[in-house]
Each structure stands twice: as structure tokens, then as C-alpha cells.
Amino acid sequence: MRYHEGVTRLLICDDHAMFRQGLRSILETEEGFRVIGEAATGREAVRYALETHPDVILMDIQMPELDGVAATKTILEEFPDAKVIILTMYRQDRYVFEAVKAGARGYLLKDAGADDLISAIRRVDEGETLLRAELAASVLDEFSRAKSETPEHPEHRLSELTEREATILRLLAQGASNQEIAVSLGVSEKTVRNRLSEIFSKLRLNNRTQAALYALREGIATLTHES
């Protein structure tokens, strides 16, 4: 839910104070951005995120107390509309893969320029997913392997969703929040949450990012490629 229309509220999570300050100095000069908090540990990140409900969270992978993957998973369990961008030094970091599985919208290298940072935040805030094709394919492959290894739960296909469930999945893949889906369909947010739970159960997925990737595989969404 966006509480301040037209303003993207940001939470910066990194254990290096100078890095946080550098990000803040860049972002606070950008029109339409407002940094609403900083977190130096994973536990602080979870607490601030659940207290303030930022629009976009910049999450360092390597965090004390609770790493970025665990913090992301915990936040999304309580605040499923959170849009998390993972910050990492390494493009091939295994933790990035795990974070995407946990529901992160993608990742950004820490040596990215200011223009790339601002563009990434705007794109994620608008509902895009910052994933290279090969990373998305790897995540989808792992989902497929998990399904094939559990024959007692046969793979469910998109055609097995109801028309309303397919519509909700399509809206989710387009970046809509629960509130926006509810408004679009004329139902309550609770109804949307319940329907999403049913969709995740049928498709054997765990979160919104996985659902968006599934929708990509089924031709509902178009993958955003990194430059």
C-alpha cells in the first residue's frame, strides 16, 4: 500500500554506515524519493520495514544478526507487497539466487552508478523485476525440479486456475499490489490475500516473485532484461 502518493519511500539496509550515507545523499537529491529509514542489521531491517512499510527496500546481502536473504523472507511473510532490491558485490552470488527465491524483485551491484540505482528503484516501484534471463531460468528450473521430485503432488498448470485466479496472477505479474488488485476487481484486500494463497498452493509456489516468474514462463509477463 502506498501511503504517500507520488513519493517513493525508501528503506536502506546495510551494515556499513558510509555506504548508507552515500546512498542517502544520492537518493535524497532525486525528486520523488524520500529515505524514511536506515538499518544496520538484518533484525533492524525487519523491524523498520514492518513498522514503516516502505515502497522499496534496498537490502544488503551480508548483514549481521540476520542476513539479507533471511531478512527478506521474514519481511515478505508479514508484508507481501514489499519490493526488495538486493545489494551485492557479486553478480553470481549464490545468495542473490536464494534472495530471489525468497521473493526479492531482483538485485543491484554495489558498484552501480547513480543513474542505474535511480532507474532500478523506479522500475521496481513500477512493478518490474530486475532479473537477468539466466537467473530467472535458473529459479524456474529449480521450481520444476522440486515439483518433479514430489510425485505425490502433481504439477498444476495455469489452465487449472479459475478465471478470477488467472486474472489475479496476471495483475500480480504486472506489478500490482494487493490493494491495487482489490480495487481493480472490486473486492477486499483480504479476499485478494486469500485468493493468492490458493494460487500459490495450486502452483506450489511460495511468494510473489515466484508467481511472477511462473507467469513469465506461461506467457503472461515479459522478462525485464538488464542492460
The rounded distance, in Å, linking the Cα atoms of 8 and 169 is 24
Domain extents in the chain: 8-130, 146-217
Q: Is the dihedral of CA 93, 82, 128, 202 positive or negative?
A: positive
* CB-CB contact of 189 with 182 (8 Å): yes
Cα–Cα distances in Å, from 26 out to 21, 76, 93, 130, 171?
A: 9, 26, 25, 20, 32
Q: What is the mean pLDDT of the chain?
A: 81
Task: Report which of residues 74 and 225 the model is more confident about.
Answer: 74
**78-133 pLDDT tens trace:** 888 899 999 988 766 677 778 887 888 888 888 889 999 999 999 888 877 776 66
For cell 533492524, the residue is 44
Q: What is the pLDDT of residue 11?
A: 97
Q: What is the pLDDT of residue 155?
A: 46
- Domain 8-130 belongs in CATH node 3.40.30.10: no
Q: What is the pLDDT of residue 132?
A: 66
**177-197 pLDDT tens trace:** 788 888 999 999 889 888 888
Is residue 226's pLDDT more than 60? no
* CB-CB contact of 136 with 223 (8 Å): yes
CATH number of 146-217: 3.20.20.10, 3.40.50.20, 3.10.310.10, 1.10.10.10? 1.10.10.10
**145-164 pLDDT tens trace:** 555 544 444 344 667 788 88
- CB within 8 A of 172, min separation 6: which ones? 181, 196, 208, 211, 212, 215
